[in-house]
Structure 1
């Protein structure tokens, strides 16, 4: 009698969770290097049939799994969450300390208090000690210092230039007669065998998801010739506002539909059943 109510409730919860994802995407519409998230919605029956042989049931039988879950066997749920790694629009800033990555699955390596993290937000600056840092003050690692936390020290009064591989060079701009370029090392750029094992941790940073099975497949690789670094540019978010607003409207309509189904179930069907049972009694 209540199975339809349970299905509608589960569907509504699923759409609420999807709405959270869409809202987060829209909130980061102007966040440099942000990658939009999305969900895959499936039903409980399909997922249960794929894994019911290994369910931790007392009698370990398929019949018991089907019996226990039969009233919930068509409840829509979020089967998977994923991140769209497509490169966002690259915008010119002409700031020599802004860097964009023009290729997907490439990240700047950052030293944080909790270890190495990764980001595509190349809006860097210089701290009081002269090191290249992120907006949060975390050191941008050099290729040579990737394994020991070594940052990039920028000499004062020097013009900074970088090539496509992130190799830095400096030129003294206080002495008009000195045009010699001084090598300054490379910005550490890494790639991963499988980005699905990366997890957003906040502050526009990523980490390897150690809680996820198969984390060993992430395997960060330091690139010496990435060909992806663009100085004086920033990568914008890959969120499309029109698509996200369309998804939000669709989700809100589904929530409204599920709400009407629940109301009909409780007010009309249940009331009708009670009245008929009362008459028969």
Structure 2
């Protein structure tokens, strides 16, 4: 087996996977509340050290050696893919239904056909029923939803205000006492004991394991919510472009190594063997 060919192939596949991640980050540069992804690249030795205790044979025996090819210990692998949950910059808007979250471990609760999901994108609107929803039409949920299906319905001719904890208040324009503020409900803003278990499901939404619901807590008294504002993505275009160029160059380099093995080294080996024959 040509070890160099295998090493180069593994390296190129790894960089192509990294390229997909960087491209997705750049595509969501202007997506409100988007969190960039990144990868950790390791080698076979790291994977082996992590999993060797799970092998069916003790790793110090000769029989166990067949699980580890010493010639391939430095082949690159994507060891882990993770999401950077650091907060993005906040941009003020003129939309009364735009809300930014100022704490990194805070998410709005959203109802979808697949169940409850979470998002940092606070760009909301009203549907034809006057219900507060996401741009995709998914209802934005209040805290009381955990006790039974409840939603945030905005009365007609109402001016909506939110405090820093996500509590909502309205003033009815048709009311004789226009200065009267009426409590309407709240935005459910939750944090997680172990946010690393959040899984992206598409559409700027996250899923948290149902069996870990006990780790979900409501953010109260933290001053987390800011109305008339949106959180921008935490993607740094300069850093991503630098990574993109670096990855493309590595792919080209690995491709040249593969071509050298296939075209030059193989031909040379065949010619020499033919001459000896």
Deviation, 1:223, is: 2.2
Note the alpha carbon deviations across 1:178-223, whole angstroms, 9 max, x for none. 211001111100000111101010111100157xxxx739821122
1:206 matched to 2:211: no
- Where 1:130 maps in the other structure, the secondary structure is coil
Match for residue 240 of structure 2? 244
The count of aligned residue pairs is 276
- CA separation in 2, counterparts of 1:217 and 1:56? 35
Is the counterpart of residue 161 in structure 1 residue 169 in structure 2?
Answer: no
Q: Distance in 2 between matches of 1:36 and 1:175?
A: 46
Equivalent in the alignment of 2:269? 273
Deviations 1:11-35 (A, max 9, x none): 1000110000011111111111000
Match of 2:228 among 210, 232, 237: 232
Answer yes or no: is the 8 Å Cα contact 2:32–2:230 preserved in 1: yes
Name the structure 2 match of 1:45.
45
Q: CA deviation at 1:251?
A: 0.3
For the pair 1:20 / 2:16, whether they are aligned, the reply is no
The residue matched to 1:150 in structure 2 has which SS? coil
Judge which range, 137-146 or 240-249, deviates more.
Answer: 137-146
Question: Separation in 2 of the partners of 1:98 and 1:110?
Answer: 15
Q: What residue is the counterpart of 2:260 in the other structure?
A: 264
Residue 140 (1) aligns with residue 140 (2): yes
**Cα separation, 2, equivalents of 1:280 and 1:209:** 64
CA distance in 2, matches of 1:280, 1:21: 49
**What whole-Å deviation, never above 9, does each CA across 1:154-200 have from its counterpart, x for those lacking one?**
11111100000001111122357521100111110000011110101
Shift, 1:60, TM fit: 7.5
Structure 1 residues 256 and 67, CA gap change in structure 2 (3 angstroms): same
Residue ranges of structure 2 left out of the alignment (5+ in a row): none
Deviation at 1:115, TM superposition (A): 1.3
* Aligned counterparts of 2:234 and 2:61: Cα–Cα separation in 1: 44
Q: 1:26 to 1:63 in 2, by over 3 A?
A: farther
Match of 2:217 among 221, 229, 244: 221
Q: Which residue of 2 aligns with 1:173?
A: 173
Q: Aligned partners of 2:53, 2:187: CA distance in 1, in Å?
A: 50
Query: Displacement of 1:68 after TM fit?
Result: 4.3
Q: 1:62 to 1:41 in 2, by over 3 A?
A: farther
Deviations 1:70-93 (A, max 9, x none): 143221000000000011111000
**Aligned counterparts of 2:106 and 2:124: Cα–Cα separation in 1:** 17
Q: Give yes or no for contact 2:38–2:81 (8 Å, CA) kept in 1.
A: yes
- Matches of 2:144 and 2:2, distance apart in 1: 63
* Structure 2 length-normalised TM: 0.93
Relative distance call for 1:217 and 1:122 in structure 2 (3 A) is closer
Distance 1:153 1:64 in 2: 67
Aligned-partner Cα distance in 1 for 2:117–2:7:
41
**TM-score relative to the length of structure 1:** 0.92
CA contact (8 A) 1:5 1:262 kept: yes
Cα distance change of structure 1 residues 203 and 218 upon mapping to structure 2, 3 Å threshold: farther
What secondary structure, in the 3-state scheme, does the structure 1 residue paired with 2:146 have?
coil
Greater shift in the superposed pair: 195-204 or 61-70: 61-70
